[in-house]
Amino acid sequence: MVQTPGRPVTLADVVATLDDLYPPRTAEGWDAVGTVAGDPAQPVRRVLFAVDPVETVLDEAVEWGADLVVTHHPLLLKPVHSVAATTFKGALVHRAVREGVALHVAHTNADSAPGGVADALADLLGLVDRRPLVPHDADPARGIGRVGRLVSPTTLRAFAEAVAATLPATVQGVRVAGDPDATVETVAVVGGSGDSLFDDVREAGADVYVTSDLRHHPASELRERAAFEARGSDGPARPYLVDTAHFASEWPWLAVAARDVVTRLAPLGTVEARVSTRSTDPWTFRVEHNCIERTPL
């Protein structure tokens, strides 16, 4: 938990700070970022940061006395014509308003920002000398994902174990595709769903790619292509894949955002921020069974 002395700030103050850190203009065109509910003039003393705008997070916000919840994922990503309390999303909005809890979203604008989701994940994994995986045309310091290198090369197995030990534990755990004894040094990361960026990962020359929500066919084709091209060059079948839970890969940003918001607001007055303690990963259990052994590509 982080705190600053002084007067309470307003929602407008906090939103201005968030927009400075994560400019809405840098969000993807399909995205829905910004304030979902809340009066710009309302005082904000406590801010809760979470990955998802779901009921358990609002429960925690009310219990803690938060005035604002900042989430990474949008509540209303697709256009809606009603927020009546007859739907689960409408009911969440109504309850937030009744409880005096504002809701703000920083999604793909936080993904691409310096100090955003991608940098937080890269920091946690110890990547140095990094750059955006897909830089923005107007600002090459911003962009989706990051590519960097480990301070010392390691094996794919050791790297994957470090990823698992560093990120929040989830039912999925960490899935890996590749030779566990292969050497890795150059790492690409994308918090959240990342299998649409495989061509960018290959072009970046990454040994291993850490992301989430990897689907069967794109992952299979990437690994088959890597194995085919490796036979022709007598080199390693890269990139290898490390697949984490979506929630887990974006969670590291929350503490960074909380710290940065409090630091920026310090000259204005008192605000307290903390990271939600509720896991919003939707999976609740996994059934174990004997796996079919396969020689890694």
Tens-place pLDDT, residues 157-173: 999 999 999 999 999 99
pLDDT of residue 1: 52
Cα(85)–Cα(81) distance, rounded to whole angstroms?
Answer: 13
User: Is pLDDT of 296 > 80?
Assistant: no
Average pLDDT, the chain: 95
Q: What is the dihedral of CA 9, 13, 14, 15, to 10 degrees?
A: 150
Q: Kindly report the pTM of this predicted structure.
A: 0.93
Pairing relation of β-strands 2-3 and 9-10?
A: unpaired
Q: Kindly report the number of other CB atoms within 10 A of residue 65's CB atom.
A: 13
User: Is pLDDT of 197 > 80?
Assistant: yes
List CB contacts of 109: < 8 A, sequence separation 6 or more. 22, 23, 24, 25, 26, 27, 31, 33, 116
Higher-confidence residue of 288 and 294: namely 288
Least confident of 174-183, 258-267, 288-297: 288-297
pLDDT of residue 5: 53
Tens-place pLDDT, residues 98-157: 999 999 999 999 999 999 999 999 999 999 999 999 999 889 999 999 999 999 999 999
User: Is pLDDT of 3 > 70?
Assistant: no
pLDDT of residue 46: 98
List CB contacts of 196: < 8 A, sequence separation 6 or more. none
Backbone angles phi, psi at 81, to 5 degrees: -110, 0
Task: Report residue 204 as tokens.
Answer: 């970046």
Mean pLDDT to the nearest integer, 226-233: 92
Backbone angles phi, psi at 186, to 5 degrees: -85, 125
Cα(65)–Cα(71) distance, rounded to whole angstroms?
Answer: 16
Cα(271)–Cα(1) distance, rounded to whole angstroms?
Answer: 11
pLDDT of residue 276: 98
Tens-place pLDDT, residues 6-19: 568 999 999 999 99
Cα(216)–Cα(223) distance, rounded to whole angstroms?
Answer: 11
